[in-house]
Amino acid sequence: MTLSIFVCEDDFKQRKRIESVICDYSAKNGDDIELTLSTGNPTEILKHLESHFCQNALYILDVDLRHEINGIVLASKIRQYDALGKIIFVTTHAELSYLTFRYKVEAMDYIIKDSQKEIAERIEECIRIARSRYLENTMQKETFQVKTGDSVRNIPTDDIIFFESHHMSHKLILHTKNMRIEFYGSLGDISNISTDFFRCHKSFVINVKHVKYVNKTKREVEMTNDRIALIAAKKIRDLLVLMQN
């Protein structure tokens, strides 16, 4: 599992300094830290979150982005996709810190752009803490976070039977024994949430623990909720091997 870090800073030089801090910290402290996206455009962050599953990521944001979406508003929109993500503001606008409370974004830190050395030290400390908490969370019972409308659910991965693609672009359907939940995401990201999940078809990711029967002739997989998932011919052997482990 990797801690994803996002940076949104419109000042090119400042953005490169922050990227350097992240890359240096990662090089010294392990390869489970990834600079996923660094940009000066807040809409790029939101577009990425719309199409990729992110949970417990770290977001380093400027407040004044010279865009119709400022850093505080961006943080509130990020919360719609990643309710547990860690958010840091790096800004010259000390007077706007109160907005983090108004928008209820629960910022991890609010760093003023005075000293480059202090900025680097505080970002490193935030990365250290975020990484530590991320690792603690992954060691606990694994859950999958789903946002539907204005609500966020953490569903135990053991309860998830399978995912399938929706007819709407960038939308998926999650199946448990008693629930069917539609949400935005990518099957490519879903297949990496746990070693128990296997992408058996371009439209299905299944929980191997919930497989009842594999019909090799029909290329179908019967799941424990009696629903059927399709399986590609070239994936059958791999699935049978996983079921034996």
User: In the prediction, which pLDDT does 1 show?
Assistant: 64
pLDDT tens profile 102-125? 767 788 889 998 889 999 999 999
Q: Which residues contact 229 (CB under 8 A, 6 or more apart)?
A: 162, 164, 200, 201, 204, 206, 220, 221, 223
Query: What percent of the chain is modeled with pLDDT above 70?
Result: 96
User: In the prediction, which pLDDT does 162 show?
Assistant: 97
Report the CATH number of the 143-244 domain.
2.40.50.1020
User: In the prediction, which pLDDT does 80 show?
Assistant: 83
Q: Which residues pair with 184 in a beta bridge?
A: 171
Output b/e per residue, 215-240; b: 16+ Cβ within 10 A. Answer: eeeeeebebeeebebbbeeebbeebe
pLDDT tens profile 10-42? 999 999 999 999 999 999 987 789 999 999 999
Q: What's this model's pTM, rounded to 2 decimal places?
A: 0.61
User: In the prediction, which pLDDT does 97 show?
Assistant: 72
Q: Delimit the domains of the chain by residue range.
A: 3-139, 143-244
Name the CATH architecture for the domain at 3-139. Answer: 3-Layer(aba) Sandwich (3.40)
Encoding tokens for residue 132? 């530590």
Low-confidence ranges of the chain (pLDDT < 70): 1, 98, 103, 137-141
User: In the prediction, which pLDDT does 154 show?
Assistant: 81
User: In the prediction, which pLDDT does 223 show?
Assistant: 97
